[in-house]
């Protein structure tokens, strides 16, 4: 199972920290987290540098994203497809 966290860098960091107590169980269930700080004003590529890279043993738990601008474009496309009207938050 793939779990992606699309939000600001600070929110991505907070989500990873909040998930830490559940890491072993999520790993056991095959969950892989992709932290995607795509909404930061300094740019997605710069924001991902602020997130501590996973260690070798964490690579079954989370990965470092690449091609963030493509992820952002994908996310925006999905948001546009699923919104019933402008301004309504997307539930994922």
CA pair distance 44, 85, nearest whole angstrom: 26
Instruction: State the total domains in the chain.
Output: 1
C-alpha span between 71 and 65 (Å, rounded): 9
Full residue range of the structural domain in which residue 23 is found: 2-82
In this prediction the pTM is 0.69
CA atoms of 37 and 47, how far apart (whole Å): 6
**Residues for the chain: how many in total?**
92
Give pLDDT, residue 76.
81
pLDDT at 70 > cutoff 70: yes
Predicted pLDDT of residue 25 = 92
Q: Does 32 reside within a domain? A: yes
Across the chain, mean pLDDT equals 78
Residue 89 lies in a domain: no
């Amino acid at each position: 199972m793939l779990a992606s966290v699309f939000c600001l860098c600070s929110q991505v960091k907070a989500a990873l920290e909040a998930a830490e107590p559940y890491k072993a169980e999520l790993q056991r269930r095959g969950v892989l987290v992709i932290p995607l700080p795509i909404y930061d004003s300094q740019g997605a590529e710069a924001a991902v540098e602020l997130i501590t890279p996973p260690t070798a043993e964490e690579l079954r738990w989370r990965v470092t994203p690449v091609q963030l601008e493509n992820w952002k474009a994908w996310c925006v496309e999905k948001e546009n497809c699923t919104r019933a009207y402008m301004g309504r938050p997307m539930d994922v």
